[in-house]
Every structure is written in structure tokens, then in C-alpha cells.
């Protein structure tokens, strides 16, 4: 019998997307809040996706005495390296919803032509056990940030993230096509191979 992993996040949208990505590769997981009271995770660093993901996963695994998976992800813009990256959620406001975050990005990048809107979405997943063992997987997807939100199959940055090879945003793709292309989906596949 496989492990039923807990997703170590207070963000329901991110947790649902991670659950679907893991399920696509045969890993059973649910947001920890469906079974336990809310945790106050330690503050994240501003320098390392790996440290942030490992810290959340280990904290949840020890606190709940259950295996846990955590995600730290970010949006990187080579034309504007001063923006976002590992601090994406904090830069845009943790309490702000995906749509509002997208509007903030659209406003911030308003003066940049599409050619300079190349972006990378990076995901780092960490799986931890209560005894302290941990495995880490990382993946990226490269595309362009549109000045409008398009798509209904997924939320967040997927609605802005245009893949030139397909001529669509990630949010225009149903899960069976989106997950293998997305940063979180590719990281989930790598994590599954390590588990």
C-alpha cells in the first residue's frame, strides 16, 4: 500500500494543483488542512527554493508525524531579474488571490514588449518523513507572460503563461496536456521517480 502524503501548504489553490500533479503520476496526496489544524510554517528564506521547500516539508512531517510534500515555486523574468524569483509570493502579496496577482504582474510589465516578457516558472518539491529523511525534485518551464489572462482549466500564473510551441497559455490546456508541460507537473514526475 502506498503512502498517503500530506501537502504542507496553507494555500488551497497551490495545494489543489500539486495534488492533481502528483495524482497524475500515481502519488496520493491531500492538503494537510483536510485532516489537521492550521500550522504556522517557519518564515521562508529569500535565497533558496530548496531550503524553503525542505523547511516546510520537514516542519509539517515532524509536527504531524506524517510524510509530507511541500512546494516552493516562483516566476523569473530574465529581462527583469530584480523582480520575483524565490520571493514571488511575497513580492505580490501572499494574501492576494491568483487573479489579483496576475493583474499586478500585468501592470508591472505594462511597458515591456512581448519579446522581453520571456519568463521561467520554477518548482521545487520536497518530500519529508517524520524521521528527517527528505528527497527533492526541481523543474522549470519557459514561456512568455501575456498582457491578458486567458484560459479556464487552471489558475494563477498559468493564465498569463503562454507557450510559443503550442500558441496557448498553460490555463488553456486540460490537465492531461498541461501537467506534463508545467513546472510543478514535471517536478512531480521527478519526485515520483525518487520515491
Q: Which residue among 71, 72, 91, 158 is the active-site one?
A: 72
pLDDT at 94: 46
Q: Would you state the cell numbers that stand for residue 8, as one nine-digit string?
A: 504542507
What's this model's pTM, rounded to 2 decimal places?
0.91
pLDDT at 82: 80
Whether 4 is catalytic is no
Q: Is pLDDT above 90 for 2?
A: no
pLDDT tens-digit profile of 33-59? 999 999 999 988 778 999 999 999 999
Q: How many domains does the chain have?
A: 1
CATH number of the domain that 18 lies in? 3.90.950.10
- The mean pLDDT value for 151-168 works out to 94
pLDDT at 101: 81
User: For residues 70 and 125, is the Cβ–Cβ distance under 8 A?
Assistant: yes
pLDDT at 97: 52
Report which of 93, 94, 88 is spatially closest to residue 46, judged by C-alpha positions. 88
Mind giving me the DSSP string for 109-149? TTTS-GGG-EEEEEEEEEEE-TTS-EEEEEEEEEEEE-SS-
Distance (Å, whole) CA 69 – CA 126 = 5
**Residue-range definition of the domain harbouring residue 131:** 5-194
Amino acid at each position: 500500500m502506498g503512502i498517503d502524503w500530506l501537502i504542507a501548504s496553507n494555500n488551497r489553490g497551490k495545494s489543489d494543483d500539486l495534488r492533481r500533479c502528483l495524482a497524475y503520476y500515481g502519488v496520493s496526496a491531500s492538503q494537510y488542512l483536510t485532516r489537521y489544524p492550521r500550522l504556522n510554517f517557519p518564515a521562508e528564506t529569500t535565497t533558496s527554493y530548496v531550503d524553503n521547500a525542505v523547511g516546510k516539508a520537514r516542519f509539517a512531517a515532524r509536527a504531524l508525524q506524517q510524510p509530507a510534500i511541500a512546494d516552493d515555486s516562483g516566476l523569473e523574468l530574465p529581462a527583469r531579474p530584480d523582480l520575483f524569483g524565490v520571493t514571488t509570493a511575497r513580492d505580490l502579496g501572499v494574501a492576494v488571490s491568483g487573479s489579483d496577482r496576475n493583474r499586478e504582474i500585468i501592470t508591472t510589465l505594462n511597458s515591456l514588449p512581448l519579446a522581453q516578457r520571456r519568463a521561467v516558472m520554477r518548482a521545487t518539491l520536497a518530500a519529508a518523513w517524520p524521521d528527517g529523511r527528505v528527497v527533492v525534485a526541481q523543474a522549470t518551464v519557459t514561456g512568455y507572460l501575456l498582457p491578458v489572462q486567458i484560459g479556464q482549466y487552471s489558475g494563477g500564473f498559468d493564465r498569463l503563461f503562454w507557450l510559443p510551441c503550442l500558441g496557448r497559455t498553460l490555463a488553456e490546456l486540460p490537465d492531461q496536456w498541461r501537467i506534463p508541460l508545467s513546472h510543478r507537473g514535471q517536478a512531480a514526475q521527478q519526485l515520483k521517480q525518487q520515491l
